[in-house]
Amino acid sequence: MTVTAFDRQNNFDLSQMLRIVAFPYIQVMLYSEAYQTMLASESILRKEWDTPEEDAAWANL
């Protein structure tokens, strides 16, 4: 397959540019189920805990 960033009038079209990133290796990482659960819940907990109300509640500690 050929991908080109030029239109039919040989004008360079920046909207058609592609970036290809190649890595010489693949790293496979196996995580325990508990660790996977922790990673999945981290963003949810951050939304609940990173609030001004939580900061005020823990300010005296």
C-alpha torsion sign, points 57, 39, 24, 14:
negative
**Average pLDDT of every residue of the chain:** 78
CA distance 38 to 4: 43
Question: Taking the complete model, does pTM exceed 0.85, yes or no?
Answer: no
CA distance 14 to 55: 46
CA distance 59 to 51: 12
- What's the pLDDT tens digit per position in 14-40? 665 566 677 787 777 888 999 889 888
